[in-house]
Amino acid sequence: MFADLSDRQWLWGAAGFYAAGLLLGMVSLLRGGRTSGAAIYGAILAGYLLQFIGLGLRGHASGGCPLGNRFEIFQFTAWSAITLYLVVGVTFRSSVLGFFTSCLGAALTVLSLSIPSWDAIRRTHIFGGNPWIELHAALAMFSYGVFGLLALTSALFLLRHYSLKSKRVGGWFSFLPSIMDLDHIEVRLLGTGMAILTAALAFGSVYWSRDTATVGHVKLAATVAVWAASAAAFALRAAGRLLARRFAWTCLALFAAALLSLEAVDASRHPGGAQASVRTPP
């Protein structure tokens, strides 16, 4: 029965589980109780597995990592963020992070699934059989997923900061982790994201140095700008120059910039060459 399901149907199933995690958290919070960490984690894990199958089918069909259009990029970014959550979420001891992660997962997957034009045409064999370029793209997207989780943590930090400054610490706010814990996690996530993006750019630069004409300037500038922004934020934080709220806002802006840079990356691909395009069935 499941063998007949298309990749999009698997991905809809994943989106459903992420939305279920979001719903579970909402219901718990509205009822005034603590969000059920295990239930939300289970929903996210189920969604993750379905998304893994859906993206796997896509990857198999397109002959590489499924990053052939905006739909696939959004799906892969969500999957990356959730991969990291599933690893660090257990030790995070905060069901609120699970709630926010399910929110991010549901938002990215439902949004990408709901806009058919994003997936009307997808490029296949975009890496031209070069595994290094594929690794570069996969690592870059994974780092964007890390920045997604960083953005969530930063949003939690800002909420906690607001609650303490405005002296509203009861109710929903009481479930938030402490300021210091969130700050430490932000720094680690930023460092991790930056390190992965650095590796991605290093792999990409080897290919680019051999054939500079194949990489568009806009793509190059956008990617390097995101990397430079993350490195600058990390350096300023380490030097004690970018702290607390400003640091959290910077991390949010970094994720927004990473998402915007995807537009430049996507637009830089030209349909000719080794790439081929296929029309995705509705």
Partner 1 sequence: MSKTCLFVIGASHHKAPLEVRERLALASEEGLRADLAAAPGLREFAVLNTCNRVEFYGVGADAEAPACVQAAYCARQRFSAAEFERIRFRLTGRDAALHLFEVASGLDSQLLGENEIFGQVKEAYAAAQSFGSTGAVLNRVFQKAFQAAKHVRTHTGISAGRVSVANVAVELASNIFGSLAGARVLVLGTGEIGEGTARAFRSRGAADLAVAGRRIERAAEVASSLGADTMHFDERDSRLADYDIVVCSTAAPGAVLRTSAIAAAMRRRPARPLLLIDMAVPRDVEASAADLQNVFLYNLDDLARIAEQNRFAREAEVARCRAMLEQRADGLWRQLQAQLAASDPGAGAPGRGAEGQAATP
Question: Toward partner 1, which CB reaches closer, 11 or 242?
Answer: 242
Number of amino acids touching partner 1 (CB under 8 A): 23
Least CB distance from residue 168 to partner 1, whole Å? Answer: 9
Q: What does R_g of the chain's alpha carbons equal in angstroms?
A: 19
Q: How far is CA 142 from the centre of its chain?
A: 7
Start-end of H helices in the chain: 7-30, 37-62, 70-92, 95-114, 131-165, 179-210, 217-238, 244-268
- Footprint (CB under 8 A) of partner 1, residues 243-282: 243-245
Cβ contact 95:35 at 8 Å: yes
162 binds partner 1 (CB under 8 A): no
Least CB distance from residue 195 to partner 1, whole Å? Answer: 21
129 binds partner 1 (CB under 8 A): no
235 binds partner 1 (CB under 8 A): no
Member of 158, 179, 195, 253 binding partner 1 (CB under 8 A): 179
Which amino acid makes up residue 173? F
Each residue 10-49 as x (binds partner 1 by CB under 8 A) or -, in order, gives ----------------------xxx---------------
131 binds partner 1 (CB under 8 A): no
Question: Toward partner 1, which CB reaches closer, 58 or 160?
Answer: 160
Q: How far is CA 108 from the centre of its chain?
A: 8
Tokens standing for residue 155? 């949003």
The span from the CA of 136 to the CA of 276, in Å, is 20
Member of 60, 90, 129, 174 binding partner 1 (CB under 8 A): 174
Member of 131, 178, 235, 270 binding partner 1 (CB under 8 A): 178
Member of 54, 59, 98, 177 binding partner 1 (CB under 8 A): 177
Least CB distance from residue 248 to partner 1, whole Å? Answer: 12
DSSP annotation of 123: E
Question: Toward partner 1, which CB reaches closer, 170 or 282?
Answer: 170
| Segment interacting with partner 1, rule: CB under 8 A, options 70-78, 98-106, 238-246, 255-263 | 238-246
Least CB distance from residue 167 to partner 1, whole Å? Answer: 5
CB < 8 Å & 24+ apart, contacts of 25-34: 25/95, 25/96, 25/98, 25/99, 25/102, 25/103, 26/99, 29/99, 29/172, 29/175, 32/171, 34/95, 34/175
The span from the CA of 35 to the CA of 95, in Å, is 6
Q: How far is CA 156 from the centre of its chain?
A: 17
The span from the CA of 58 to the CA of 26, in Å, is 32
Q: Which residues bind partner 1 (CB under 8 A)?
A: 32-34, 160, 163-165, 167, 169-171, 174, 176-181, 183, 240, 243-245
